[in-house]
Every structure is written in structure tokens, then in C-alpha cells.
Amino acid sequence: MDELSLQKVPYFFIIDFLSENVEIYKEDEINKSGLLIDFQQFSNSEKQHNLNKKIEWTSFPETLESFKKGFDKVQKNIRLGNSYLVNYTRKTEIQTNLSLKEIFYHSNAKYKVFYKDFFVFFSPETFVKIIDGKILTYPMKGTIDASFENAAEVLKNDKKEKAEHYTVVDLLRNDLSMVADDVKVDQFQHIDLIRTQQKDLYAMSSEISGNIKPEFAGKIGSMMKKLLPAGSILGAPKPKTLEIILGAEGYDRGYYTGVCGWFDGENLDSCVMIRFIEKEGDRLYFKSGGGITHMSRLEDEYQEMKNKIYVPIH
């Protein structure tokens, strides 16, 4: 990645959650690879297809008792002081009459990728952008059902969601400081509306920026190595929290919560791979979750995990 970005060669990259698999596609290799990409600055997808069917969508979430097993492990570690924020995620079987490719074409999201009939995601979350020597990140933490009365205000002022958001902003500010100088929070607790087939949600994000340190200039691979895994889908402190996640979740995240990005030869736009559906044999699984703090209530976190099982087709 460093070699290509220093030579200003455009490419697309995909990195899984544990940074064990890194795939790089130069611009002329993308179409041959079977990848479909639709980012704000780059797209190789054809024009919109018509969707002439009523969408069928059923999810089969695990029971509250099953969810509680991992949740309790997380809470125990938080009480012991091993972590103060853990992003706990689950894997839910879904059934739908949509193919992964149809989900890609018809979802509304900032970032969408269809990966060789293996997975599709429609992510609202930017990871980092690099624009003219400046690096920016937009951690997203905190969601609420938009149908609640004064939902956006409730989200902004909810003690637990607020604490979670402060923690992630602080974590990402520290992470960015490893590769950038003059790091600052430019925008705090910005609320976005996300429309979906199932229900509308509000999500909270912030903007943090800094000037890339001279030793990292043009070295996108080196920066990613420092910054990954993404703090918003891991927690804090990072090394111990990763251990807790691997012990509590009991399944392999794979590419889910990894990152992918488009480097155009000068600037970078990348996202966190959330809102993620994966094919295993002839079954489909949706991976979703949320941040757990010492204030988290089991029933609320279980509901949030279920709220995020949606397609943004409306």
C-alpha cells in the first residue's frame, strides 16, 4: 500500500477486522475482480436496476439468554477495570428474497461494496479521509429508533450513549495523534438520519482532524497499520478490549468491522465495514452490535443489536 500510494497509483483496498487479510486492487483490476463498489468519490456500479418485487425480510436473532452470556463476560471485564468500552457484536441468520447483488444496488448508503457473492455491506460510517495532507476521522457511536418522541435530543443527552461517544472520540483522537499533529475535534455529536426498510434510526458521529506527520506522508499502509482495528468497533483500551471481544463473541468477525478504501492517487476515502451481510453455504447472516459500558442495560443492548438488522431500501 505504501509503495503504491507513494507512487500516486490509484487503488482500492480491503482489510479484515484482525488485519490478517489485506487485498489491493489497482483501478484496472477492480472490474475483473468481481467487486462492485459505490463510494462517494468512486463507483464502478452500473446504473440503478429496477426492483420489481415486494421485499421479504425475516431475521432470527438469538435469544436474550444467549446474548447475555457474552454480555456478562464483557460486563465482568469492565467491572474488573480491563476495559471501559467494548463493542460487542453478534451474528444473526436472516432470510430474504433479495440477492446480495440486489441489496448492493438498491441500498442507500454512503459506502457500499458487493464482494464476489460472499458479502455485501452498506455502511454509513467513514473511517478516515485524507485530503491535501490532512487526515480526518468520523467515529460513529450511539443510535436510537427515530420514531421515539424527540429522538435526536434524547440520543444526544442519553447518559450512556453520551459516555460511549465521548470515549470513542477520545480514543480516535489519541489514535490519530500517532500519525498526525495538531489533532482536534472539529464537530461533536452530529446527528444523522438513516432510513431503512424496517425502521428509521438516528446515529451520532463526530469529526476529528489533524495534519499528517512528515514521516507518514504518502504512506497509507503505514498509517492503517497504526490505526487498525478501528476504535469505534473495538473499544478502549484497544489490546485488552480485543482479547475480551475474542473471548465473548464466540464467532469469527472476518471482514465485518474491517475497513476498505479508495485512494485516487492523491486523497483517500475509507469506511468501516458495518451493516454487513455474509453468505455461508446457502445461508445469510447479518452481523451487528453496539458499544457496552458499565452503564449498559442488557435489554437495551439486545434491542440495539436487533435494530441494526436492516436494509436501507425505502
Walk along the chain (314 residues) and give the pLDDT tens digit of each residue: 999 999 999 999 999 999 999 999 999 999 899 999 999 889 998 766 778 889 999 999 999 999 999 999 999 999 999 999 999 999 999 999 999 999 999 998 999 999 988 999 999 889 999 999 999 998 877 777 788 878 888 888 878 778 878 888 899 999 999 999 999 999 888 887 777 666 778 888 889 999 999 999 999 999 999 999 999 899 999 999 999 999 999 999 999 999 999 999 999 999 999 999 999 999 999 999 999 999 899 999 999 999 889 888 86
Q: pTM for this structure? A: 0.91
| Residue 286 forms part of a structural domain | yes
Say how far apart CA 202 and CA 192 lie, in whole Å.
Answer: 6
The CATH number that applies at residue 147 is 3.60.120.10
Q: Which three cell numbers stand for residue 59?
A: 431475521
| Residue 265 forms part of a structural domain | yes
Say how far apart CA 97 and CA 311 lie, in whole Å.
Answer: 12
Using H for helix, E for strand and C for coil, what is the string for the chain?
CHHHHHCCCCEEEEECCCCCCEEEEEHHHHHHHCEEEECCCCECCCCCCCCCCCCCEEEECCCHHHHHHHHHHHHHHHHCCCCCEEEEEEEEEEEECCCHHHHHHHCCCCEEEEECCCEEEEECCEEEEEECCEEEECCEEEEEECCCCCHHHHHHHCHHHHHHHHHHHHHHHHHHHCCEEEEEEEEEEEEEEECCCCCCEEEEEEEEEEEECHHHCCCHHHHHHHHCCCHHHCEECHHHHHHHHHHHHCCCCCCCCCEEEEECCCCEEEEECCCEEEEECCEEEEEEEEEECCCCCHHHHHHHHHHCCCCCCC
| Residue 185 forms part of a structural domain | yes
The predicted structure's pLDDT at residue 266: 96
The predicted structure's pLDDT at residue 168: 85
| Residue 313 forms part of a structural domain | no
| Residue 209 forms part of a structural domain | yes
Say how far apart CA 70 and CA 149 lie, in whole Å.
Answer: 31
- Site of grid cell 475497513: 259
The predicted structure's pLDDT at residue 47: 67
CB under 8 A, 24+ apart: contacts of 183-186: 183/208, 183/209, 183/210, 184/208, 184/209, 184/210, 186/136
| Residue 312 forms part of a structural domain | no
Q: Give the number of domains in the chain.
A: 1
The predicted structure's pLDDT at residue 198: 63
| Residue 48 forms part of a structural domain | yes
| Residue 314 forms part of a structural domain | no
Q: Which domain holds residue 18?
A: 2-307
Say how far apart CA 223 and CA 4 lie, in whole Å.
Answer: 14
- Site of grid cell 458479502: 119
